[in-house]
Amino acid sequence: MEYITIGNVKIEKTASLAPMASVADKAMRTMCKKYGAALLTGEMASAKGLCYSDRKTAALLTVTDYERPMAIQLFGSEPEFMAKAAVIAAQYKPDFIDINCGCPVPKVAGNGAGSALMNDPVLLGHIVEAVVKATDIPVTVKIRKGWDEKNVNAVEVARVAQESGASAVAVHGRTKNQMYSGKADLEIIAEVKQALSIAVIGNGDVDSGESCKRMYDYTGCDLVMVGRAACGRPWIFSEIKHYLETGETLPPPSPDEQLEIMNEHIRLLCADKGEYIGMKEARKHTAWYLKGRPGAAKLRNMCGSLATLEDFDNMLTLIRNTAQQDI
């Protein structure tokens, strides 16, 4: 297996987990790590929230030794707040501090952060420089293709990030306006890779070992990042690693094994956040795990009403009994 180095951190050249808000929490990261994720990134944390001692924001920064290598991701639009937040984040000893310059959701981009920074490369450069100067932890930057198809500037922005001291740039091959629709543009990732001397991480539409290899081969990127395809399917990282090593497709876990994986995930979620909050968040995760199973519509309804671990256990029993009857 090949490895890359970002800063002074050695990373297996397989696939990393993307920083998905309200998804890539400790339980999700733990499951993805178990199945071979090469690098983890936590949920994005507000720089101002950290500076104003927001407990909810600070809770996003915990890094366990099991999760390493792991990045903490910050978002904001003011260099001074981003620098102060980086100092606070550094106390949690992440392997990297990642700057979010790609989030397309209105509550982030609409306030000048996330992908809005793609429209102001000078400000983006000031933010990267401020964070780099504030801590000795390697700084990475996540960007998009551009704001829209008329404003595709990933190469320019990536160069600014590199010149400002970033150790790596991750590129999602979609514009802000695309959100998550359409296809990711591999060509723009290849162009960024050709333009930079630092590591480039490719992101977008990787949902199998084959598509991961295609990303590597087409773009020449140093590492691949997986986002939505890991939802309800943390074993994708094992599939990717196996394909890269052998060229063969690894069969997914059996339906019964998938239920056990889901069971482990939901219990980790409740152990970390408490049953009340954990089960609220379990609703989306269980829907992802159960997608495509017989009786999917009924199962979705059950997922949407989960309130206790007892509800979850009852759903598991129903699924298992139904499967037995179908044999």
Alpha-carbon gap, residue 151 to 135, rounded angstroms:
32
Residue among 100, 79, 98 at smallest CA distance from 144: 100
72 backbone dihedrals φ, ψ, rounded to 5°: -100, 130
Report which of 308, 284, 296 is spatially closest to residue 255, judged by C-alpha positions. 296
Residue 179 annotated as lining a ligand binding site: no
Q: Which of 32, 103, 212, 270 is catalytic?
A: 103
Give the C-alpha distances (Å, rounded to integers) separating 144 from 73, 88, 265.
15, 26, 30
Is 227 marked within a binding site?
A: yes
Looking up tokens 């501090």, which residue turns up?
A: 97
- Which one, of 230, 229, 232, lies nearest residue 261 by Cα? 232
Strand 3-6 with 9-12, pairing? antiparallel
The count of other CB atoms within 10 Å of the CB of residue 322 is 14
Residue 204 is labelled as binding a ligand:
no
247 is known to lie in a ligand binding site: no
Consult the annotation and say whether 19 binds a ligand: yes
Residue 220's Cβ-side half-sphere holds a number of Cα atoms within 13 Å equal to 11
Q: CA–CA distance from 185 to each of 145, 174, 179, 208, 219 (Å)? A: 8, 6, 13, 17, 10
Q: Catalytic annotation on 303? A: no
């802000």: which residue's tokens?
176
**Closest residue by Cα to residue 36 from 183, 209, 164:** 209
- 20 labelled as ligand-binding? yes
Per DSSP, the chain holds a count of helices (H) and strands (E) of 14, 11
DSSP string for residues in 126-179: HHHHHHHHH-SS-EEEEEEEESSTT-B-HHHHHHHHHHTT-SEEEEEEEETTTT
Residue 14 has what DSSP assignment? S
Q: Is 21 annotated as a binding residue?
A: yes
Distance of alpha carbon 131 from alpha carbon 139, whole angstroms = 7
Annotated binding site: 19-21, 73, 142, 172, 227-228
Show which residues are catalytic. 103
